[in-house]
């Protein structure tokens, strides 16, 4: 269902080796942060939490000097500084690293600390194994029971050189045949999609589906309309109406499998979307050159 010039048209099947047996489908989740009070208040930082089945997003509005810490982080997490600037100071274990703005960082398990050197937006993404964050999410009630069609979470192999602070500039030029700017760690995959200037051409959408994993789509600028359609199965009590949900930034849409979906930018100027997956996608990871830090993280079974 992709256009022939869409790099994803070369992807293979996405199903796991062990199919998930389930009847019925989960609803999509839409969390519009601007319509909600902050989940957490800290000096110089307000944070909104939203989740999928395997990931928790912390979207923060911060001022310079804001400090955000994790004392007992179970596993790696990812941090995005989407705006240029002085960035932030990261501490974890014996490491102290200054990460400039317009970067993505990976933070190791255990105790860590981020001190902001600039104001603006800060994004952190965690696995739901960190129950304190998962339970505090604005939409935590939607996940009191596991959603169907998604296998149990399993982390990917640890990096051969051990856990440490890693960071990467987002100033990466597009490359023909590569989709977005993709990074992975043991728990997560983030795809920094290109900035869209103006509404998307409605004659060139990309409806597709995933067999067995959720997609988190985070709007950080502009607005997106998420079009979602669920399959019709023999038992019509599980049928769902289509969604055509408008989500202005900042907002998170969580798209369940195996719903057909596509998203369209709607604003006349800047529209920016970030996709989140947990654990990392195997199909993206097998595409040569797509995952920009692939040499640091082995695939399962390697």
- Residue ranges and CATH numbers for the domains of the chain are 7-291 (2.60.120.10)
Q: Over the chain, what is the mean pLDDT? A: 95
> So what's the pLDDT on residue 38?
98
248 pLDDT more than 80: yes
179-230, pLDDT tens digit by residue?
A: 999 999 999 999 999 999 999 999 999 999 999 999 999 999 999 999 999 9
Cβ 165 vs Cβ 108: under 8 Å: yes
Q: What confidence tens digit (pLDDT) does each residue in 142-168 have?
A: 999 999 999 999 999 999 999 999 999
Angle at alpha carbon of residue 285, lines to 9 and 271, rounded to 5°: 65
Question: Using CA atoms, how far apart are residues 133 and 278, in angstroms rounded to an integer?
Answer: 15
CB contact at 8 A, 44 and 63: yes
Q: At 170, is the pLDDT very low, low, confident or very high (cuts 50, 70, 90)?
A: very high
As a residue count, the chain comes to 302
For residue range 44-85, what is the model confidence (pLDDT) as tens digits? 999 999 999 999 999 999 999 999 999 999 999 999 999 999
Task: Answer whether 261's CB lies under 8 Å from 229's CB.
Answer: yes
| Cis peptide upstream of residue 24 (ω within 30 degrees of 0) | no
């Amino acid at each position: 269902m992709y256009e022939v010039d869409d790099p994803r048209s070369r992807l293979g099947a996405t199903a796991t080796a062990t199919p998930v047996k389930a009847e019925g489908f989960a609803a999509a989740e839409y969390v519009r942060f601007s319509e909600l009070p902050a989940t957490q208040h800290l000096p110089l930082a307000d944070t909104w939490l939203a989740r999928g089945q395997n990931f928790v997003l912390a979207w923060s509005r911060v001022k310079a000097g804001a400090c955000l810490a994790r004392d007992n982080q179970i596993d790696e997490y990812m941090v995005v500084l989407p705006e240029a600037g002085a960035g932030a100071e990261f501490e974890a274990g014996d490491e102290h690293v200054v990460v400039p703005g317009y970067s993505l960082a990976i933070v190791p398990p255990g105790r860590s600390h981020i001190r902001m050197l600039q104001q603006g937006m800060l994004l952190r993404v965690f696995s739901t194994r960190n129950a304190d964050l998962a339970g505090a999410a604005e939409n935590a009630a939607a996940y009191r029971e596991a959603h169907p069609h998604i296998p149990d979470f399993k982390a990917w192999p640890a990096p051969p050189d051990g856990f440490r602070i890693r960071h990467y500039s987002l100033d990466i030029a597009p490359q023909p045949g590569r989709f977005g700017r993709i990074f992975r760690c043991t728990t997560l995959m983030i795809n920094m999609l290109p900035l869209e200037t103006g509404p998307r051409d409605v004659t060139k959408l990309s409806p597709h589906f995933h067999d067995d994993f959720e997609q988190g789509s985070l709007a950080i600028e502009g607005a997106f309309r998420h079009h979602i359609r669920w399959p019709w199965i023999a038992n019509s009590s599980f049928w769902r109406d289509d969604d055509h949900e408008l989500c202005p930034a900042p907002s998170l849409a969580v798209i369940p499998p195996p719903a057909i979906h596509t998203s369209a930018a709607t604003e006349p100027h800047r529209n920016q979307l970030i996709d989140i997956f947990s654990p990392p996608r195997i199909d993206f990871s097998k595409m040569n050159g797509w995952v920009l830090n692939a040499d640091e993280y082995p695939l399962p079974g390697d």
